[in-house]
Amino acid sequence: MRTVTQLAVLALVAGAGAGWHYYGDRVGLPPPLQLVGLQPAPQGGSRGGGTGGPVGVVVQPVRIAPVVERVESVGTVRAREAVTITSKVAGIVEQIRFTEGQRVSAGDTLVQLDAAALRAELDQARALLDDARNQLIRARQLQPGQTIAAQRLETLEALSRQAEGRVRQAEARLEELRVTAPFGGRVGLRQVSPGALIQPGTAITTLDDTARVRVEFSVPEVHLARVRVGSAVTARSSAYGNRRFQGTVAVIDTRLDPATRSVRVISEFDNADEALRPGLFLTVELVLEERERALLVAEEAIDPVGDRAFVFVVRDGRARRQEVKLGLRLPGEVEVRDGLNAGEPVVVRGVQRLRNDLPVRVVETLARPTS
């Protein structure tokens, strides 16, 4: 029975040893005898020692790819132009010449107030002007030998100018009874009804120019130096699923908010289909910098030590420990700003077993990920 048990143990160890030579050596597993608490017979040093064979590693070349550095914020849509339509004068609403939600052009009449009394006043002013002009014309066309006092002629000229002033004043007052659109846009809900008496400042409706909208958001002051007019902005809303809206930075505030230590940025978006409504909440991504030839390595190649970072580069059959300066982090990869060159083989598997200048054997070279 004891012999059978010994044979079974030897078979188990032999099988584990074969499996380790096939797979464990590649991924850095300890030898099977160490797993069962035994020590292998000395054979000129261990695989990880300086006097033994080279350590098997998997490498991947440093690749070049474009990267885009962004900062995310939240923003609110504002109409490029927005106003509450009111009347300058008191009056009774005679006609409402718009429908709610209608697109109007600059100068279109939205509301006409009762102007009957002013029209009569204008007619009277025009009649007085005609009479004054006729008297002045007759005075200037006197036959030779007929004279008129110079003072009388000056009086008629003054009366004519006064009549012209009354006409222009009546026309201006009449124009104030016509409420117009100051710019092109879309009107909102109607706040008055025909026959209503309104006072100066009474809200009639709203008018928003949303063919191009503004999105306001804030950026932390740490990014201030890299925020520029014309930088690309991408916005999305849960209301539109995966749709992305593209805009650009239009204005950067001259002051920072002392409470939030951020600067307010205004971007502009084309909005031909008017999907972006004023007041809509958006998630905004601002492009801070684009680098066309950034160096990228696999994330698992990084060996962090405190606030420093290192990688192992295979040079002349040895693992050279190289300090690197990291940049942008991407899914599965890290940008290296300094310390490496494009195409250098960097160890991505087996890093834990390495030390500087240790002999290594490349067992696999991973292909570069596609951009």
Mapped to the 3 state alphabet, what secondary structure does the chain carry? CHHHHHHHHHHHHHHHHHHHHHHHHHHCCCCHHHHCCCCCCCCCCCCCCCCCCCEEEEEEECEEEEEEEEEEEEEEEEEEEEEEEECCCCEEEEEECCCCCCEECCCCEEEEECCHHHHHHHHHHHHHHHHHHHHHHHHHCCCCCCCCCHHHHHHHHHHHHHHHHHHHHHHHHHHHCEEECCCCEEECCCCCCCCCEECCCCEEEEEEEEEEEEEEEEEEHHHHHHCCCCCEEEEECHHHCCCCEEEEEEEEEEEEECCCCEEEEEEEEECCCCCCCCCCEEEEEEEEEEEEEEEEEEHHHCEEECCEEEEEEEECCEEEEEEEEEEEEECCEEEEEECCCCCCEEEEECHHHCCCCEEEEEEEECCCCCC
Q: Are 336 and 62 in contact (CB under 8 A)?
A: yes
**Checking DSSP bridges between strand 358-365 and strand 55-61, what pairing results, if any?**
parallel
CATH class entry, domain 115-176: mainly alpha
Q: Which CATH number fits domain 56-67+292-365: 1.10.1370.40, 3.40.50.970, 2.20.25.90, 2.40.420.20?
A: 2.40.420.20
Superfamily of domain covering 71-79+208-290:
Efflux pump adaptor protein, beta barrel domain (2.40.30.170)
Domain with CATH 2.40.420.20 in the chain: 56-67+292-365
Q: Are 360 and 55 in contact (CB under 8 A)?
A: yes
Domain with CATH 1.10.287 in the chain: 115-176
Which pLDDT value is given to residue 327?
86
- What's the predicted TM-score (pTM) here? 0.60
pLDDT of the chain, 371 residues: tens digit per residue: 445 455 554 555 455 554 544 444 444 444 544 444 444 444 433 344 445 578 888 999 999 988 888 899 999 999 999 999 999 999 999 999 999 999 999 999 999 999 887 777 777 878 787 777 877 777 777 655 555 666 777 777 777 788 788 888 888 788 888 999 999 999 999 999 999 999 999 999 999 999 999 999 999 999 999 899 999 999 999 999 999 999 999 999 999 999 999 999 999 999 999 999 999 999 999 988 888 899 999 988 898 888 899 999 999 889 999 999 998 888 888 989 998 999 899 999 888 888 898 998 888 888 866 44
The label of the residue with tokens 């797979």 reads 23
Which pLDDT value is given to residue 149?
66
- Rounded distance between C-alpha atoms, residue 250 and residue 228, angstroms: 9
Domain with CATH 2.40.30.170 in the chain: 71-79+208-290
> In the numeric block, which tokens belong to residue 36?
């069962």
Nearest CA-CA partner of 362 in 54, 63, 62, 53: 54
Cα angle value 282/285/287 (rounded, 5°): 150
